[in-house]
């Protein structure tokens, strides 16, 4: 999974990136200190892996991972060359979802590029820049398709879609709200990699005192939550400064620190849950002496396609999947004991994999 982090300058974007990835991206109190994209890969915390790894005495335990891409802060007029322009937006066209960091805290020591704190205005500023960037992509595609449509009728259908889509974006709308006329149009729309078509997770960045109650009394957070609900987006409340402190601690210290703050989970854990929900993802597990590992798949994936995540040969030569729930496996202490209790199922090609399934694939190529 790949997530792109966007936001205005000085909203806590790079501070959040640093704390999530411990990658040490430059973070300073002036716009555009992040010029080249910063990339960091983060392991997805999963207690199930540790327990299974201990049970099997696995030589290696491999969690699922998320790749974060942090780009320079956007400003109003970026698409027209203001600030650094929007050339760096190409760095996040390949991401699965966008994490939009929104400032919901007051701090006279940290300048706001627009002079005041207004989360909805900030969201609109970023959305407009993403729309302008997408329109630019569509204009290039229209020019290319129009040329092809003169010699072949097939591209004419795509040209109609592109022109309708461009008009829709020019009305200030996001591509996510555009209604394709059929499956072909839906496939084409997804292939354009438009930034405003990607799912969005809002990170409402608050001061430390607003964190324990999840920003319940923060007016800015309330506005962001309502905006997210109205637009089918996810939202989570975070304090980037606190996350930065957590990043310096080990697992045990983190648990104690969170408890002292009255928190159930870190910002990273909140973000991971939000990203899995909005992208419709889950994990199945493989376990053994050599390696215990988590594999990320879409909810609704069938056994052969899940096997293909491990190796294409597994999908091609799929015979059966031996499946047991991780809780049952841990409770019984071994796969053999779980089999004896009838807790292991031999599943075929139509089996829909469930979150927390521990699977042994049988295949023949």
Nearest to 172 by CA among 220, 123, 221: 123
Phi, psi of 237 (to 5 degrees): -100, 135
Q: Cα(216)–Cα(227) distance, rounded to whole angstroms? A: 15
Sign of torsion over alpha carbons 73, 74, 80, 82: negative
- What pLDDT does residue 94 have? 84
- What pLDDT does residue 349 have? 96
Report CA-CA distances (Å) from 225 to 96, 172, 176, 236, 277. Answer: 21, 21, 18, 8, 16
Q: Cα(284)–Cα(306) distance, rounded to whole angstroms? A: 8
Nearest to 134 by CA among 90, 84, 94: 90
Q: Which residues contact 74 (CB under 8 A, 6 or more apart)?
A: 6, 7, 8, 83, 86, 89, 125, 126, 129
Q: In this predicted model, which residue has the larger pLDDT, 213 or 55?
A: 55
Checking if the pLDDT of 346 tops 90, the result is yes
- What pLDDT does residue 12 have? 81
Residue 34 confidence class, pLDDT cut points 50, 70, 90: very low
As given in the structure block, the two tokens for residue 124 are 């609109």
- pLDDT (mean) for 313-330: 96
- Of the candidate ranges 38-42, 44-48, 255-259, 309-313, the one whose mean pLDDT is the lowest: 38-42
- What pLDDT does residue 246 have? 86
The CA-based dihedral angle spanning residues 127, 175, 68, 74, taken in that order and rounded to the nearest 10 degrees: -20
Residue 111 confidence class, pLDDT cut points 50, 70, 90: low
Report CA-CA distances (Å) from 173 to 7, 130, 155, 262. Answer: 19, 11, 25, 40
Q: Contact, 179 vs 189, CB < 8 A?
A: no
Give the single-character DSSP code of 88.
G
Segment 173-206, tens digit of pLDDT: 999 999 999 999 999 999 999 999 999 999 999 9
Q: Contact, 314 vs 363, CB < 8 A?
A: yes
Segment 246-302, tens digit of pLDDT: 888 887 888 899 888 888 888 888 888 999 999 999 999 999 999 999 999 999 999
Q: Contact, 17 vs 109, CB < 8 A?
A: no
Residue 74 confidence class, pLDDT cut points 50, 70, 90: low
- What pLDDT does residue 30 have? 39
Segment 89-102, tens digit of pLDDT: 777 788 899 999 99
Q: Contact, 304 vs 315, CB < 8 A?
A: yes
Segment 203-242, tens digit of pLDDT: 999 998 898 888 889 999 999 999 999 999 999 999 988 8
Q: Cα(90)–Cα(93) distance, rounded to whole angstroms? A: 5
Neighbours of 193 (CB within 10 A): 14
Q: Which residues contact 108 (CB under 8 A, 6 or more apart)?
A: none
Segment 3-17, tens digit of pLDDT: 988 888 878 888 888
Checking if the pLDDT of 341 tops 60, the result is yes
Segment 112-135, tens digit of pLDDT: 666 678 999 999 999 998 999 899
Whose tokens are 């992040």? That residue is 34
């Amino acid at each position: 999974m790949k997530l792109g982090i966007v936001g205005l300058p000085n909203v806590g974007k790079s501070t959040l990136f640093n704390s999530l990835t411990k990658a040490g991206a430059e973070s300073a109190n002036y716009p555009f200190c992040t010029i080249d994209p910063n990339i960091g890969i983060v392991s997805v915390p999963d207690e199930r892996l540790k327990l299974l790894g201990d049970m099997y005495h696995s030589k290696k335990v491999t969690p699922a991972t998320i790749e974060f891409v942090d780009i320079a802060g956007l400003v109003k007029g970026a698409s027209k060359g203001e600030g650094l322009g929007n050339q760096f937006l190409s760095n996040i066209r390949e991401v699965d979802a966008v994490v939009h960091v929104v400032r919901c805290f007051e701090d006279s020591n940290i300048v706001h590029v627009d002079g005041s704190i207004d989360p909805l205005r900030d969201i609109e500023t970023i959305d407009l820049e993403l729309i302008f960037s997408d329109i630019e992509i569509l204009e290039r595609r229209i020019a290319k398709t129009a040329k092809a449509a003169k010699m072949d009728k097939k591209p004419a259908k795509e040209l109609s879609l592109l022109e309708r889509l461009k008009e829709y974006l020019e009305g200030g709308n996001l591509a996510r709200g555009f209604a394709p006329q059929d499956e072909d149009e839906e496939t084409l729309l997804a292939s354009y990699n438009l930034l405003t078509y990607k799912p969005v997770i809002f990170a409402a960045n608050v001061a430390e005192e607003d964190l324990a109650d999840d920003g319940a009394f923060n007016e800015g957070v309330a506005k962001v939550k309502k905006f997210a609900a109205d637009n089918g987006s996810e939202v989570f409340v975070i304090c980037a400064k606190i996350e930065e402190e957590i990043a310096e601690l080990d697992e045990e210290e983190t648990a104690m620190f969170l408890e002292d703050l009255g928190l159930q989970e870190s910002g990273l854990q909140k973000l991971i849950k939000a990203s899995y929900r909005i992208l419709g993802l889950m994990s199945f597990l493989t376990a053994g002496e050599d390696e215990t590992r988590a594999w990320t798949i879409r909810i609704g994936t069938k056994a052969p396609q899940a096997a293909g995540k491990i190796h294409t040969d597994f999908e091609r030569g799929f015979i059966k999947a031996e499946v047991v729930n991780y809780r049952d496996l841990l409770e019984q202490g071994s796969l053999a004991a779980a089999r004896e209790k009838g807790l292991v199922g031999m599943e075929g090609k139509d089996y829909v994999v469930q979150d927390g399934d521990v699977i042994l694939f049988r295949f023949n190529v």
